[in-house]
Structure 1
Amino acid sequence: MKKLLLASAVAALSITAAQAAPQVYGKAFLTLDVKDDNGDNKNLKTELNSVGSRIGIKGGEALSANTDLVYQLEYGVGIDNERSVQFSPRDTYLGLANKQYGTLVAGRISGIDGYVDYANVTAGKPVGGNNVLASYDADRVNNAVAYFSPERNGLQFMGMYAVNELNAKRESFGIGAKYEPTDAPFKVGASYVQVQDGEASKATRVSGAYAISPVLTAGALYQNTDFNTKNNENAFTLSANYKVAQTPFTTYGQLDFVNNTKGIKDTKKQRIAVGGKYAFNKATTGHIYGAYQASKKADDKNTNAYGIGAGVEYKF
């Protein structure tokens, strides 16, 4: 899924006491999707989906000239139904932001590997989801503490630690770094996370992007995930994002490849996704997209899926 980078959000919250009023924000994103999960034209279905819709409150309070208390309370909402998704917790935290030493937050937080993703360009609810196809991808972690260093010449480090309150031996942690120089056409990053809550895994990720021209950007990602099996999962993503000159329209394409899905030997996933975004204004974006995915299971059975969709996204 698309992720609001916590490091960027916290930086924006370094405010003075005179600006300490809480900010209410959110997003409503509704799509209409037509999918066939088997690729045989017999299971065609139409869905109305609320994608990443949310509402939140964030803000800060100056404690000293260099240190702010920062907070965020964010909850997911389903604008298409009344199921249990209503007001489900997303990133919620309380922390301290210091201009010299960095930011420390605690709560329920997205995994830091999500900050090292320059390849995902999908949006809406295409076949396979609106993220890369790696089986572990920046899941939110409970009882977590995360640290983000100050950015120095485009370089930033981050770390995360979480404990399973029912079993102190099943702890999760992660480290990462990203380099985003202001005047350079490239961005790169790397992360390592070890997750012990639920299905244990260790994921090593590298990702980068390169601006080929002012309107064309290419991205790539590789992730090796160890599910404590003999065969590690290997996931690759390649993408391109093209802004049509002198128009509010942007097109994109993404290729995903996964071998040994979830550590199961000889299983594979391959997907191609294409789409476009039309910026009506700063708050409202129209989306159209399509995707095709082919999967091979351990028993050599193949499954194909395809679908198209369109939607409107409004941010406030």
Structure 2
Amino acid sequence: MKKLLLATAVAALSVSAANAAPTIYGKAFVGMDYVDIDDEWSNKNEDSVQINSYSSRLGFKGSEAITANTDVIYQYEVGINIDGNEGDDNNIAFKSRDTFLGFKNDSYGELRFGRNTSVVDYVNNVVTSGSGFWDNLGSNQLNENENGYNMTDSGRRDNSVVWMAPKYNNLPLDVALMYKANESLDDSTVDADAGFAASAMYDAGTGITFGAAYDNDVNLDGDLLRATAAVDLSKYMAAPVTVGAMYQVADFDDSDKMGARGSEKEKGLVVSAKMGLNNFAKPAAVYIQYNNTDNLLGFSDADSDQIVVGGEYNYKPNMIAHVWAGQNSADLGGSDYDLLAIGGGLEYKF
């Protein structure tokens, strides 16, 4: 009897320790690019060959039960610049990514407190998600820009809370809400307003997904509305192709500060297609994506177009080779901007 009790106690301690131990994970993604920029806005005409680190990261995450239905969840994640382009003396730099402490309950969903990705990004289901030099959106700031001009993107926000709703009657709908706190006691502080955002993604497993999101003072000083859709055509015909589209409207509150040029709503469109290739020893695919943005940052005379093609080859599920080529062109109120980037890289996940 004593041996049985001892074995039970040891097993219980082992389970407790296993639950408390964090999972270590990460990604290393390094590429080489030829980049050519012709920017009349900043009087820059240069080209170079670059070694770049793309969303490389290291993280720790885990959970531990505090009741029968509730777990404490945690995550600490940092970005790593493997190429050493940031930080003192070109050392590897660490940049905060999603880092939070929270709770997960079977009946009430999940709460995350800390630095969180905006829930607007939860509906970003256009099919050629960011890889290498080119991502789905990029940056749209109207200054010297080495990654192109595109519609307003979502990002990570400090001092935020995210709630992920539990499934209701197995409805294939994922709902999330976000609150970004205003911790400033100075009303004159720029972009100090508290904000909120909401998103909903519908996926019934039929190969068709729909998403919608709304943002007020989270990713911009104003309102943002995003709608997305994607269709996996292989579910309906003998074609290993997935197509996707995103449409977004951003209304900036600070248009009065910009004058008449900054009084328009920014409108962005992304369309993309990805096709699997069956004549390779390993899984492979090619893709194409087009981005169009009118009225960048609300300026009526600033527009951009971007076209990207690329491919990927999966040596293993966690080891992927990438190639890409893209062109981003913008008219910045009479000043032309052109960016060409061609490259490739290796992505390793662990």
TM bin (shorter chain): 0.7 to 0.9
Matches within 5 A, 1:22-171: 22-38=22-38, 43-81=46-84, 83-84=86-87, 86-119=93-126, 121-126=128-133, 129-132=134-137, 134-151=150-167, 152-167=170-185, 170-171=193-194
Partner residue, 1:9: none
| TM-score, reference length from structure 2 | 0.80
Are 1:206 and 2:244 counterparts? no
After superposition, the C-alpha distances for 1:195-222 in whole angstroms (9 at most, x for unaligned) are 268x513110000101112521000000
Match of 1:226 among 247, 251, 254: 251
**Taking structure 1 as reference, are residues 42 and 105 closer, same or farther at Cα in structure 2, changes over 3 Å only?**
closer
**Taking structure 1 as reference, are residues 125 and 271 closer, same or farther at Cα in structure 2, changes over 3 Å only?**
same
Partner residue, 1:278: 313
CA distance in 1, matches of 2:85, 2:331: 35
Match of 2:208 among 181, 186, 193: 186
SS at match of 1:132: coil
Percent pairwise identity? 31
Partner residue, 1:10: none
SS at match of 2:233: strand
Partner residue, 1:306: 340
In 1, are the aligned partners of 2:127 and 2:273 still within 8 Å (CA)?
A: no
Partner residue, 1:177: 200
SS at match of 2:86: coil
Q: CA deviation at 1:266?
A: 2.2
Q: Which aligned segments of 4 or more residues in structure 1 are displaced greater than 6 angstroms? A: none
Structure 2 residue runs of 5 or longer lacking an equivalent are 1-14, 139-149, 256-262
Q: CA deviation at 1:131?
A: 2.2
Match of 1:251 among 286, 292, 305: 286
Instruction: Tell me how many residue pairs correspond in the alignment.
Output: 296
CA distance in 1, matches of 2:127, 2:328: 16
Amino acid of the residue matched to residue 219 of structure 1?
G
CA distance in 2, matches of 1:196, 1:213: 37
Q: CA deviation at 1:82?
A: 5.9
SS at match of 2:246: strand
Q: CA deviation at 1:42?
A: 5.8
RMSD: 2.1
After superposition, the C-alpha distances for 1:67-90 in whole angstroms (9 at most, x for unaligned) are 111000001111111623722110
SS at match of 1:165: coil
Q: CA deviation at 1:135?
A: 3.6
**Taking structure 1 as reference, are residues 82 and 34 closer, same or farther at Cα in structure 2, changes over 3 Å only?**
closer
Q: CA deviation at 1:164?
A: 2.0
Partner residue, 2:21: 21
Higher helix share: 2
Amino acid of the residue matched to residue 164 of structure 1?
N
CA distance in 2, matches of 1:155, 1:149: 9
Q: CA deviation at 1:120?
A: 5.1
CA distance in 2, matches of 1:267, 1:58: 42
